[in-house]
Amino acid sequence: MEKIKLGFVIHTFDASRGGKEVVAWNLVKRLLEMGVRTELVCSRYKSLEHPLLNIHKVPVPGKQVGLDNLFFARRALGKIKELDINITYTNGKSGLGEIVRLGGLPQKVHIRTRGLAMKNPVKRRFYLLKKKLSLKNRVSLYLEKKTYTNPGIKKVITCSRYVKKNLLEAYPALAPGKVEVVYNGFDFIDYDKGMALRNRNEIRKKYCLSEDEPVYLFAGNNFERKGLGRVIEFLKMAPGIKLIVAGRGRRRRCSPELNSRIIWAGETGDIVKYYDAADVLILPSASDGFGLVVPEALSRGCYVMVSQNAGASEIIDDYRIGMTFPFRDFPERVKPSEMSLARDDQFRQSRRDLVRQMSWEKIAERYLGIFKETLDTSGERLK
Output the CA–CA distances (angstroms, integers) from residue 360 to 25, 161, 184, 295, in the order listed.
11, 19, 8, 12
50 or 376, higher pLDDT? 50
Burial label, 78 (beta-carbon count in 10 A; 0-12, 13-18, 19+): exposed
The pLDDT value recorded for residue 2 is: 64
Query: Given a cut of 90, is residue 152 above it in pLDDT?
Result: no
Q: Dihedral sign, CA of 130, 222, 19, 336? A: negative
What are the φ/ψ torsions at residue 90 (nearest 5 degrees)? -115, 130
Question: Would you give the DSSP letter of residue 149?
Answer: T
End-to-end distance of the chain based on CA atoms, in angstroms?
A: 13
Output the CA–CA distances (angstroms, integers) from residue 126 to 134, 223, 286, in the order listed.
12, 19, 18
β-partners of residue 245 are 218, 264
The pLDDT value recorded for residue 322 is: 94
Tell me the CATH architecture of domain 5-185+360-377.
3-Layer(aba) Sandwich (3.40)
The pLDDT value recorded for residue 221 is: 85
Q: In this structure, are residues 106 and 21 in contact, taking their beta carbons and an 8 Å threshold?
A: no
**pLDDT tens-place string over residues 10-33:** 999 988 777 788 899 999 999 999
Query: Given a cut of 70, is residue 381 above it in pLDDT?
Result: no
Can you state the angle between helices 107-116 and 121-133, rounded to 10 degrees? Answer: 160
**pLDDT tens-place string over residues 57-109:** 998 887 766 788 899 999 999 999 999 999 999 987 777 889 999 999 999 88
Q: Are the folds of 5-185+360-377 and 193-356 the same? A: yes
213 or 377, higher pLDDT? 213
The pLDDT value recorded for residue 207 is: 96
| Dihedral angle over CA of 42, 47, 52, 58, nearest 10 | 20
Q: In this structure, are residues 243 and 261 in contact, taking their beta carbons and an 8 Å threshold?
A: yes
DSSP result, 219-278: E-S-HHHHTHHHHHHHHHTSTT-EEEEESSSPPPP--HHHHTTEEEEE--S-HHHHHHH-
CATH class of the domain comprising 193-356: alpha beta
Determine how β-strand 242-246 pairs with β-strand 303-307: unpaired
Sheet containing 303-307: give its strands across.
262-266, 242-246, 215-219, 280-283, 303-307, 322-325
Q: In this structure, are residues 160 and 290 in contact, taking their beta carbons and an 8 Å threshold?
A: yes
Query: Given a cut of 70, is residue 238 above it in pLDDT?
Result: yes
Question: Would you give the DSSP letter of residue 83?
Answer: S
11-15, 23-27, 200-204, 373-377: least confidently modelled range: 373-377
- 112 pLDDT band (50/70/90 cuts)? confident
Closest CA to 315 of 274, 353, 275: 353
Report how far residue 132's alpha carbon sits from residue 129's, in angstroms, rounded to the nearest whole number: 5
Closest CA to 265 of 253, 274, 257: 274
Burial label, 203 (beta-carbon count in 10 A; 0-12, 13-18, 19+): buried
Q: What is the mean pLDDT of residues 174-189?
A: 92
**pLDDT tens-place string over residues 322-341:** 999 998 888 887 888 888 88
The domain locations on the chain are 5-185+360-377, 193-356
The pLDDT value recorded for residue 382 is: 35
Query: Given a cut of 70, is residue 202 above it in pLDDT?
Result: yes
